[in-house]
Amino acid sequence: MELNRLPRTSRGRHPAVRKLTSWLWALSPLTGVLGPAPTWAVLAIWKRSRRYAALAAGSAAATITAFVLYETSAPGDSDPSSAIMFPLTFSSLILALRIRRRVFDLPKRDDEWTRPMITYPPAQPLPPQPQPQPALTRALQARTLREEARTLLATDPSLAEELGIGRP
C-alpha cells in the first residue's frame, strides 16, 4: 500500500485539484486576449458539445467584430470595441461560474468533500438476566451432595458408615 497517494474520486483526480482546475477554467474569460472564445472552444472540444461549440463561435464572431471596429474607428472617437468586449467577457464569466460545478462534476456544496462518518447501529440493551430461584438452587445442591455420598460409599465404606451414609 502506498502512503503518498492522494485519495481519488471516481473521475481519477484528487478533489482539491479538480476544484482548483474548475476555478481556473471559470476565470479564464478574463485572461484571454481573444476574449472568452477559447474558453468555450476548449469546453466544446472536451465535452463534445454542439451547444458549447455554438457559444464559442458566437464569442469568436463578437470578438472579431470588436477588433474590426477598433481598427476602423477614427483616432479621436470613443472605443466601440469595449462596448462589445466588456459585456461579452462579463457574461461569459458569469456563465462559466454558474456551470463550473456541472462541467467538472463537483458536488453541490463544499462540505460534501469530507468523508462520511462511520455510523454504528444503536446499542441494544442487554436482556435481563434470570434471577436465581432458591428452590432450584437447593435441589441442585442436594443432588450434588447425594452424588458425592454415593461416590464415598463406593470408594470408602468405613468412612461412609461413620458419617451415616447408606442404610444401617
pLDDT digits (tens, 9 = 90+) for 81-135: 888 888 888 999 999 888 888 888 887 765 555 556 677 778 888 888 888 788 8
Is 108 among the domain residues? Answer: yes
Q: Which domain holds residue 138?
A: 134-163
Q: Are residues 105 and 47 in the same domain?
A: yes
pLDDT of 162: 87
Q: Are residues 22 and 90 in the same domain?
A: yes
Q: Are residues 77 and 147 in the same domain?
A: no
pLDDT of 80: 80
Q: Are residues 63 and 94 in the same domain?
A: yes
Q: Are residues 83 and 143 in the same domain?
A: no
Specify whether the CB–CB gap between 30 and 93 falls below 8 A: yes
pLDDT of 119: 77
Q: Are residues 84 and 37 in the same domain?
A: yes
CA 118/CA 122 separation, integer angstroms:
13
Is 35 among the domain residues? Answer: yes
What is the domain count for the chain?
A: 2
Is 5 among the domain residues? Answer: no
pLDDT of 168: 65
Q: Determine the average pLDDT of the residues in 132-149.
A: 91
Whether the predicted pLDDT of 1 surpasses 50:
no
Q: Are residues 148 and 86 in the same domain?
A: no
> In this predicted model, what pLDDT tens digit does every residue of 35-83 receive, in sequence order?
888 889 988 998 899 999 999 999 999 989 988 988 888 877 777 888 8
For the chain, give the DSSP string. --SSPPP--TTSS-HHHHHHHHHHHHHGGGT-TTTTHHHHHHHHHHHT-HHHHHHHHHHHHHHHHHHHHHHHS-TTS--SHHHHHHHHHHHHHHHHHHHHHHHTT--SSGGGGSPPPP--PPPPPPPPPPPPPHHHHHHHHHHHHHHHHHHHHHH-HHHHHHHT-S--
